[in-house]
């Protein structure tokens, strides 16, 4: 089968490799579409260490070879036996792997996965949007850690793909949503998708959030950029007793944050990472019912063989580009 093989950092080639064979408790999936994200860029450039050679790709959908059933694949595997698995935290399993990072992934014609990792897709969800359900599950998992009540104000910092998904999820939970980004195009998209108010990112954003909440600040701020300065802004624009959801990935080792504000306002800082199997049926249902729209978030569709070009677009673009989907 054809596969995109990463032989070393920034050394990506198309190769003929052996087609995997499904064993007991496994299914062979013909991958039809996959998504490209920031993790793929970091794997490509060597920022995330991986075993070489590796077939990357962890956002993928396809058809079960034996039945033709359309499925979305959960890339997080787990052992089911350790302490974390026994208490239900399968996503934190120390023996788990991420398909496309630790083992071969979905930038290929076929992928073998445990049967429990493949979730059926209804006809209402298109092939080219299906890979984004994996992204949506990580957003839903993180929001499930934060109680949100109808009428609460949720501010979302950053309106890229995950920010747009967080905004839609927050609306589905009954919140009043404020979206914040410097990009006028992304603000316009968020408004089309139901965000109640959008604010340009910058030095005035904190005060504008307070002005929009009668001086209190937001009940919940979801920070999606992974930029420390943005996290500091999130703390400032959260009301006393409010919560900040750290969804962005922060790789800095040190920096300045308003720690006294965290103490004085009794703000809860909550982190979210990956997802659980139970998040997949829930997200599939949200998309099927139209409570979360995926199609407007697809900005580019490219053939699998142009993966390197797609990664280049993703790493260099700072404008309105959203999700890049690969057709296999």
We find that the CATH architecture of domain 146-271 is 3-Layer(aba) Sandwich (3.40)
pLDDT of residue 317: 67
- Give me the mean pLDDT over the 210-219 stretch: 98
214 and 191 Cβ atoms separated by less than 8 Å: no
- CA 198 to chain centroid: 21
In the predicted model, is pLDDT for residue 106 greater than 80? yes
* Strand pairing report for 197-200 and 238-246: unpaired
pLDDT of residue 249: 87
In the predicted model, is pLDDT for residue 107 greater than 80? yes
Q: Cite the DSSP H helix spans in the chain.
A: 38-45, 83-86, 132-143, 161-172, 184-192, 205-211, 228-236, 259-264, 279-288, 307-316
- Give me the mean pLDDT over the 259-264 stretch: 96
pLDDT of residue 229: 96
Structure tokens at 68: 């033709």
Domain edges within the chain:
2-135+275-327, 146-271
We find that the CATH architecture of domain 2-135+275-327 is Alpha-Beta Complex (3.90)
pLDDT of residue 251: 80
Residues 6+ apart with CB under 8 A from 246: 223, 231, 269, 270, 271, 272
Report helix, strand or coil for 11: strand
pLDDT of residue 154: 98
- Say how many CA atoms lie within 13 Å of 196 toward its Cβ: 18
In the predicted model, is pLDDT for residue 122 greater than 80? yes
């Amino acid at each position: 089968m054809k596969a995109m093989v990463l032989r070393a950092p920034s050394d990506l080639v198309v190769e003929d490799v052996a087609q995997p064979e499904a064993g007991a408790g496994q299914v062979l999936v013909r991958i039809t579409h996959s998504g490209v994200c920031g993790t793929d860029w970091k794997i490509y450039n060597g920022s995330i260490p991986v075993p070489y050679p590796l077939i990357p790709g962890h956002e993928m959908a396809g058809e079960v070879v034996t039945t033709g059933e359309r499925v979305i694949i959960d890339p997080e595997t787990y052992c089911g036996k350790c302490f974390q698995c026994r208490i239900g935290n399968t996503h934190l399993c120390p023996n788990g792997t991420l398909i496309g990072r630790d083992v071969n992934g979905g930038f290929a014609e076929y992928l073998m996965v445990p049967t429990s990792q493949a979730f059926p897709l209804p006809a209402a969800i298109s092939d080219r949007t299906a890979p984004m359900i994996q992204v949506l599950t990580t957003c839903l998992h993180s929001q499930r850690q934060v109680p949100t009540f109808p009428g609460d104000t949720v501010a979302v910092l950053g309106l890229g793909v995950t920010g747009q998904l967080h905004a839609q999820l927050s609306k589905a939970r009954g919140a009043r949503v404020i979206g914040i980004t410097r990009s006028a195009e992304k603000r316009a998209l968020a408004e089309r998708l139901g965000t109640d108010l959008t604010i340009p990112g910058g030095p005035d954003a904190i005060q504008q959030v307070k002005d929009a909440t009668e001086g209190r600040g937001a009940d919940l701020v979801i920070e999606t950029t992974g930029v420390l300065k943005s996290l500091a802004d999130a703390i400032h624009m959260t009301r006393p007793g409010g919560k900040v959801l750290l969804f962005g990935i922060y790789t800095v080792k040190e920096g300045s944050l308003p720690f006294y504000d965290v103490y004085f306002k009794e703000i809860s800082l909550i982190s979210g990472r990956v997802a659980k199997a139970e998040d997949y049926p829930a997200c599939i249902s949200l998309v099927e019912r139209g409570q979360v729209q995926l199609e407007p978030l697809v900005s580019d569709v490219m053939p699998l063989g142009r993966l390197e070009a797609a990664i280049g677009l993703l790493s260099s673009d700072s404008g309105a580009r959203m999700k890049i989907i690969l057709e296999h």
